[in-house]
């Protein structure tokens, strides 16, 4: 079959699959964009995936749907074969090929990466397990989540003594989980990581490392971003994937605080011949994949850093994989320059605050997981309430999850299934961090900046490049980023600028603030005016 016709047939099959009940079209967009049709005959279809992870996932969860679509369209039983395109995998490091992405029927789906609803990921806890564990990821009691004070009387607070509260699926959480620092963590997988533009590159690189640990250009892999954006989820997903697909390899995850505590215990007697010290070092030196979380906490801990550096050099020198995470880039961690250089010597990728679309996707994923785990197929949170939660929450996904949990509790356990948007605003009025600033918009900030610097809105978002307009524009962009915690792309749309221009503006203001006390005071005055809106 000609290539162009084959592509058309494949698009038709994709559309047919998306039309089925219990299929989320955004999942099809996400996963099927990683497939390429290669050959088709009367009863045979061959597809290639760009890595083994995608091949396995499609075979587990979507092949039957593809066969059904072919039967419905052509009234013939088809054999569907999926192979890995080795050239694509090696050339992209596990990322989708550019040409495949270009052929995706719908670009930039709002969320990706979860298993289709009704198909739990391998090893995922049952609904009973989820109910018995107040937090499905970390095991901590979060049955009355979020900030408590000053709730309106008509909204009852969850009784922390009850043990039957549901624990909606936690797609993002930087808490660790599972069975200890080197145990399996089946709830944190690549399948249930919600992908968006803000984390797509970090996700792709984590998948590449999980599939082929020790590749020089990604060793070490360094992932950084603010707390609650999913760094630990990706690290645990790597560990989980290695445990599942390469059980002969040792994959050890450790948080820096735990690592520091272990080291202090092992070296308490300052005797490096003690068996406890040897056991401490040997455990990490024998890892095939070592994942160290929150390395910024090792600032000022010179002896621990020296040991970590020795272990780091030994493992990478032997071609074994090291993965590190922090809440900031290596260059911004206050450690010796040689550590920064080595930490930055492989692949360094950041996770930005999620876009509104991604946050909305996460909200939907929580709701769907609650429905699946509790067997409540008819349960629904109205779209306007879901959007309100996505728009009002900060970049921290724990806060978003907690808000969804509160709404679910109110609707189910306190028998208020018809909550209105106004009801939810009251319920969550003290929930979101940042208080009133979270109700601000970019338009509010633009208006105050325009008044403060005496420039028009048309000039602020237009093409004029006189010095005073550029200055006001960069200040407005900086404040939008700092006060609203929005992604660069979202800010850029409101200023008719692209992602790189917004990044430059923010960085430029930050650099000038270091040198100018006057600018710092000016910005504080502006922030105060904006907060008073």
As a whole number of angstroms, the distance between CA 109 and CA 103 comes to: 13
Name the β-bridge partners of 290: 252, 322
> Is there a binding annotation on residue 189?
no
Handedness of CA 291, 363, 169, 212 (dihedral sign): negative
Read off the DSSP letter of residue 140: -
State yes or no: 214 annotated in a binding site: no
**SS3 sequence, 344-377?**
CCCEEEECCCCCHHHHHHHHHHHHHHHHHHHCCC
Decide: helix, strand or coil at residue 239. helix
Report helix angle 63-74 to 3-18, nearest 10: 110
Residue 96 zone, left/alpha/beta (φ > 0; ψ -120 to 50; rest): beta
Please tell me whether 113 is known to bind a ligand. Answer: no
The answer to whether 78 and 40 are in contact (CB under 8 A) is: no
List the 347-350 sheet strands across, edge first. 251-255, 289-293, 321-326, 221-224, 347-350
Closest C-alpha to 29, from 361, 352, 366: 361
User: For the chain, percent helix, then strand, then coil, each to nearest 5?
Assistant: 50, 10, 40
96 vs 100: CA distance, rounded Å: 7
| Rg of the chain (C-alpha set) | 25
**Residue 351 — left, alpha, or beta (φ > 0 → left; ψ -120 to 50 → alpha)?**
beta
Residue 232 counted as an annotated binding residue: yes
CA angle 272, 257, 138 (to 5 degrees): 130
Q: Cα separations (Å) of 192 from 113, 203, 231?
A: 6, 12, 14
Annotated binding site: 228, 230-232
Feature table: binding site for ATP: 228, 230-232
């Amino acid at each position: 079959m000609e290539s162009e016709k084959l592509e058309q047939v494949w698009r038709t099959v994709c559309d047919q699959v998306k039309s089925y009940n219990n299929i989320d079209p955004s999942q099809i967009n996400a996963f099927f964009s990683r497939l390429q049709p290669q050959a088709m005959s009367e009863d045979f279809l061959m597809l290639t995936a760009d890595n083994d992870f995608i091949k396995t996932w499609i075979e587990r969860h979507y092949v039957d749907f593809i066969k059904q679509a072919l039967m419905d369209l052509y009234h013939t039983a088809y054999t569907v074969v999926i192979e890995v395109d080795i050239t694509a995998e090696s050339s992209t490091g596990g990322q989708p090929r550019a040409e495949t992405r270009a052929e995706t029927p719908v670009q930039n789906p709002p969320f990706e990466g979860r298993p289709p609803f009704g198909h739990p990921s391998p090893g995922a806890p049952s609904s009973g397990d989820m109910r018995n564990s107040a937090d499905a990821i970390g095991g901590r009691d979060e049955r009355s989540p979020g900030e408590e004070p000053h709730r309106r009387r008509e909204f009852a607070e969850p009784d922390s003594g009850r043990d039957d509260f549901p624990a909606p699926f936690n797609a993002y959480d930087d808490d660790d989980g599972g069975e200890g620092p080197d145990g399996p963590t089946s709830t944190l997988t690549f399948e249930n990581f919600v992908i968006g533009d803000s984390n797509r590159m970090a996700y792709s690189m984590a998948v590449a490392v999980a599939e082929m640990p020790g590749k020089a250009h990604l060793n070490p892999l360094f992932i950084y971003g603010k707390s609650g954006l999913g760094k630990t989820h990706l690290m645990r997903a790597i560990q989980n994937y290695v445990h599942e697909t390469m059980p002969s390899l040792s994959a050890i995850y450790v948080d820096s605080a735990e690592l520091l505590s272990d080291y202090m215990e092992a070296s308490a007697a300052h005797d490096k011949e003690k068996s406890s010290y040897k056991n401490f070092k040997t455990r990490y030196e024998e890892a095939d994949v070592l994942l160290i979380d929150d390395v910024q906490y090792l600032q000022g801990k010179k002896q621990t850093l020296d040991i970590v550096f020795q272990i780091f050099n030994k493992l990478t020198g032997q071609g074994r994989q090291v993965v590190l995470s922090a809440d900031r880039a290596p260059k911004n961690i206050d450690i010796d320059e040689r550590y920064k250089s080595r930490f930055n010597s492989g692949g360094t990728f950041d996770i930005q605050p999620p876009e509104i679309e991604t946050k909305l996707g996460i909200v939907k994923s929580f709701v769907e997981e609650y429905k699946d785990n509790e067997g409540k197929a008819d349960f629904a949170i109205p779209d306007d309430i879901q959007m309100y939660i996505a728009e009002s929450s900060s970049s921290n996904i724990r806060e978003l999850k907690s808000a969804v949990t509160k709404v679910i509790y109110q609707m189910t356990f306190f028998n208020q299934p018809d909550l209105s948007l106004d009801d939810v605003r009251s319920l969550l009025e003290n929930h979101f961090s940042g208080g009133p600033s979270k109700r601000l918009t970019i338009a509010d900030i633009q208006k105050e900046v325009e008044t403060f610097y005496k420039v028009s809105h048309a000039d602020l978002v237009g093409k004029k490049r006189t010095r005073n307009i550029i200055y006001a524009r960069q200040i407005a962009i900086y404040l939008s980023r700092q006060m609203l915690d929005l992604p660069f792309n979202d800010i850029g749309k409101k200023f008719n600028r692209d992602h790189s221009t917004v990044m430059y503006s923010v960085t430029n203001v930050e650099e000038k603030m270091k040198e100018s006390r006057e600018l710092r005071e000016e910005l504080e005055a502006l922030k105060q005016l904006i907060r008073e809106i």
